[in-house]
Amino acid sequence: MQDKVWSALKERDMERGPRPDASGSVWENWRMALDSNGVAWLTLDKKDASANTLSEDVMRELDGILAGLERNPPKGLVIRSAKESGFIAGADINQFKGVTDAEAVKAALRFGHAVVDRLEALPVPTIAVIHGYCLGGGLEIALACKYRIARNDASLGFPEILLGLHPGLGGTARATTLIDPVEAMTMMLTGKSVHAKKAKALGLVDAVTEERHIATAVAAVVKGEIPSAHQGLRARVFDLGPTRALLAKRMRAEADKKAPPAHYPAPGALIDLWENFGGDRRRMKQEEIESFARLLLTDTAQNLIRVFFLREHLKSLAVKGTPPAHVHVIGAGVMGGDIAAWCAWRGMNVTLADMKAEPLGKAVKRAAELYGKIGHSSIAIRDALDRLVPDLHGDGVKGADIVIEAVPENADLKHRIYADVQARMKPGAILATNTSSIPLETLRAGLLHPDRFVGLHFFNPVSRMQLIEVVAHDGVGEDALKAARSFAGHLDRLPASVKSAPGFLVNRALTPYLLGAMLMLGEGTPKETIDAAATQFGMPVGPIELADQVGLDICLEVGEMLKRELDQPMPEAPAFLREKVKAGDLGRKTGQGLYPWKDGQAVKASDTPPPSPEMADRLILPLLNTCVAILREGVAPDEETIDGGMIFGTGFAPFRGGPLAYARARGFESVKQALEALQAKYGERFRPDPGWDTLS
């Protein structure tokens, strides 16, 4: 059968396509073999790529393969991946960058739909065998198969919303008609993946098994022994027009809270699709093409696609290496305890040291609570807790591959700790500090091995914030930096390489933003109004609320240190901030800061005036100005690191593509002129950095 398919393909594609390889295959990305039961196993192994994506060449080859299978049908067709990491990671995002022609996008989507429809219509049992990730277009390919068998490690999802898009190969229609449409819409609106067992419970896959049972499961499907998933009565009721309208209204209200439609149009477009066309599968697929093309050309989608590549850029810095077998963390406060907990969750043996038993107990309790939220099995939770060992006497330092100091921002305290541990560390071990702002040149004084001393600045909360600043000083060795970046990668975090300087990247850029908000508060502007100016710009949380979350004591410490260490104008911390810190009203962690806090939420007044147009510039432009200074001084190596660091370290409005991307879109000269106008009105802290004149 395969010879016949190859012959058919060669007749059709020989002029434009590749010549057969040694096995006779004419495909660069696919392989096919026929088993003893007459079932064709079609394997995707995208050429010169570490992951499978649906590029144009992959889809054109699949179209040709399906044409041959239509003429010579096997007993069944299995589609799976040769990549160890997963099934298909989705579309090739490179194809989305910088597109401006909506008609070309629609034409490409129509071709993609035709290929996927062809797979769906194949008159034999079609089975997607899924392992690892199955995302976006990969899940849409799987949904076009009549059956889906997932391995236990499978993770399925529609992450397109994170790119300002929604599924575009028929997935909106197929998902909402295969499973409960509310569950399908939730997956698409959140971008969150579901693991194999949850996918089975939803009806997204028909069976979950281990690798050694895959062939048996496929044979059972071909024989008709495994029923395919289908919607239940409840799901069919939800697909009725009046019910859809009611549910869509609720979905829209919830989506608008998290993603304002003025900034993020994709959630509303997806809800409109389902509400208006959910009862008509064919029409919904047609309208999906139109909607996807409109979204792809928006600034939001193009900026979020840029954010995707910023993430890939930072991920690429996490050089491959052996993970540390043993991590020793000093300081069981919130940061140190949570760093230790995350290292243990990622499979490392961890000793957590502190002078007192109470913070150690609290740290282990927080770890157990975290694992209960993110763990998918009691065994994984138990094993992670077993790897996290309280260490009241600090004995773990002797066997650690990396020692992380996470004590309060006091250089003298840190020096005393280094003097104690460095003689006990094993040869070659890395000493890292989680300092958020103290230059490493200050901290390395007196170290026996400054070449093995690095900064690893985590962000709070450690379990959710994706960035780690990997901080270099002029005496650090390249091997230590590589080990630090590799460590970040093993923690599933993004390493931003920065040079030692006051505040590094994130805190230095964020501090003028926070202190500027404090000055506005001191002028009498309501805190809710100040925060609204920032959130209307697109920040996930306003600066006053953020200061409370960070801790007013930390904001004051960092602000005073930057004012002392930097040549650039830095606003003086207002008196009320000092009074708050002196009184112990430090923010969320004490239940009272600039806001009162209840159940982890800031208590805000609802009748405050709206922000003026100027307020956003007063907050945001000093942040942009500082980013330009950071670039000019070489603290961060490039615009990508700065934009990625600010997005993944602070949540800077992702739909704007990062602070420097926003400045570029607004116009560097325009931003400089706006700063000059603010300087004339409010003082030297708005003076444009000389670096603006070098940007192009």
Burial class of residue 464 (count of CB atoms within 10 Å of its CB; 0-12, 13-18, 19+): exposed
Tokens, residue 66: 């399906």
Give kind and range of the element (H or E) at residue 331.
none
Return phi, psi of residue 653, to 5°: -25, 95
Closest CA to 130 of 163, 96, 153: 153
**Measured between alpha carbons, how far is 545 from 539 in angstroms, rounded to an integer?**
11
Look at residue 135 and give its three-state secondary structure: strand
DSSP character string of 380-397:
HHHHHHHHEEEETT-GGG
**Of how many residues is the chain composed?**
696
**Measured between alpha carbons, how far is 276 from 380 in angstroms, rounded to an integer?**
43
**Measured between alpha carbons, how far is 134 from 588 in angstroms, rounded to an integer?**
39
Residue numbers annotated as active site: 140, 160
Rg (CA), the chain: 28
- List all residues 6 or more positions away from 213 whose beta carbon is below 8 Å from its beta carbon: none
Which residue type, as a one-letter code, is found at position 441? E
**Measured between alpha carbons, how far is 214 from 207 in angstroms, rounded to an integer?**
10
Distance of CA 642 to the CA centre of its chain: 16
**Measured between alpha carbons, how far is 527 from 409 in angstroms, rounded to an integer?**
28
Beta-bridged to residue 213, according to DSSP, are none
Number of H helices, E strands in the chain: 28, 20
**CA angle 399–404–407, rounded 5-degree value:** 130
Give me the helices (H) in 474-606, please.
478-490, 506-522, 527-537, 543-550, 552-565, 575-583
**Measured between alpha carbons, how far is 113 from 96 in angstroms, rounded to an integer?**
17
Helical pair 613-633 and 527-537, crossing angle rounded to 10 deg: 60
Contact between 391 and 352 (Cβ < 8 Å): yes
